[in-house]
Amino acid sequence: MNLLNSILYDTIYHSTPLILAVLGGLFAHKANVLNIGLEGMMLMGAFAATLFVYLTGSLWLGILISILLTLVLGLIFSFFGVTLKSNFIITGLGINIFVQAFSSFILKFMALSNINVSNIISVSALKIELPVIRDIPYLSSLLSGHTAITYLSLILIPVVSIIMFRTKFGVYVRVVGENEEAAKSVGISTVKMRYIAVLIGAVLCALAGANLATERMALFTNGMISGRGFIAIAAIYCGRAMPVKSTVYALIFGLARSLAINLGLFAGPVSGLFEIVPYLMIVTVLFAVSAFETSHSRIRGFKNG
Partner 1 sequence: MNQRRWLSNFLSVLSPVVLTLLLGGIIITAIGEDPVLTYSVMIQRSLFSYSGILKTLHFAAPLILTGLAIAITFKANIFNMGVEGQAVLGAFFAGVAGFSFTRLPPALHIALCLLAGMAVGVLFALIPAILKARFKVDEMVVTLMLNYVVVEITKYLSQGVYKDPASGYVSTYAIRESAMFKKIFNSDITGFFFISLVVFAIMIVVFKKSKLGYEITAIGLNPEFAEATGMDVRKKILAIMILSGAMSGLAGAGFLMSEKYRYTLDFSGSPGIGWDGMLIALLGGHNPVGIVVAAVFYSALKTGSDYIGLFTNVPKEIVGVIQGILILFLSVRFIDSRFKVLGRVKALVRSHGVSGSGE
Partner 2 sequence: MAVIQAVDLTKKYGNFVANNHINLSIEQGEITAIVGENGAGKTTLMNMFYGLQRPTGGELYIREKQVNFNSPLDAINQGLGMVHQHFKLVPSLTVFENIMLGVEINKKIKLAKNVRVNSPIINARSERDEVQKIIDAYKFELKADDIVENISIGAKQRVEILKMLYRNVDILILDEPTAVLTPQEVDELLLNMRELKKKGKTIILITHKLREVMDISDKVIVIRRGKVVGTKNTAETNPTELAAMMVGRDVILDVNREFKDLKSNRVAYKVTDISTETAPGKKCLDRISFEIREGEILGVAGVEGNGQSQLVSVLSGLMVATEGSVTLYDKDITNRWPERLRREGIGIIPEDRYAQGLCKDMTLGDNLISGYHQKKEFCRCGLLDKHNIAKNRDELIEQYDIRISDREGKVSQLSGGNAQKIIIAREFDSDPKVLIASQPTRGVDIGSIEFIHKKILELRNQNKAILLVSSELSEIMNLSDRIIVMYKGKIVGEVEGREADSSQLGLLMAGITPDGRKKAGEKN
Binding test (CB under 8 A) with partner 1, winner from 68, 102, 127, 161:
102
Binding test (CB under 8 A) with partner 1, winner from 64, 68, 76, 157:
76
Partner in contact with 174, chosen from partner 2, partner 1, none, beta carbon below 5 to 8 Å by kind: partner 2
Rounded distance between C-alpha atoms, residue 7 and residue 259, angstroms: 6
Nearer to partner 1, 120 or 264 (CB): 264
Count interface residues toward partner 2 (CB under 8 A): 22
Phi, psi for 219 (deg, rounded to 5):
-155, 145
Q: Does 296 bind partner 2 (CB under 8 A)?
A: yes
* Helix (H), strand (E) at residue 115: strand 115-116
Rounded distance between C-alpha atoms, residue 80 and residue 3, angstroms: 47
Q: How far is the CB of 179 from partner 1 (least distance, A)?
A: 12
Q: Does 264 bind partner 1 (CB under 8 A)?
A: no
Region of 111 please: left (phi>0), alpha (psi -120 to 50) or beta.
left
Residues 145-184 that bind partner 2 (CB under 8 A): 162-163, 166-169, 171, 174-175, 178-179, 181-182
- Is 23 in contact with 78 (CB distance < 8 Å)? no
Binding test (CB under 8 A) with partner 1, winner from 90, 159, 171, 244:
90
Q: Does 185 bind partner 2 (CB under 8 A)?
A: yes
Binding test (CB under 8 A) with partner 2, winner from 137, 186, 265, 266:
186
CA 64 to chain centre: 18
DSSP 303: -
Rounded distance between C-alpha atoms, residue 88 and residue 1, angstroms: 47
Q: How far is the CB of 160 from partner 2 (least distance, A)?
A: 13
Classify 187 as helix, strand or coil. Answer: coil
- Is 157 in contact with 19 (CB distance < 8 Å)? yes
- Alpha-carbon distance values, 75 to 78, 114, 214, 245 (Å): 5, 27, 24, 28
Q: Does 159 bind partner 1 (CB under 8 A)?
A: no
Q: How far is the CB of 187 from partner 2 (least distance, A)?
A: 6
Q: Does 276 bind partner 1 (CB under 8 A)?
A: yes
Q: How far is the CB of 166 from partner 1 (least distance, A)?
A: 30
Which stretches of the chain bind partner 2, using CB under 8 A? 162-163, 166-169, 171, 174-175, 178-179, 181-182, 185-188, 296, 298-301
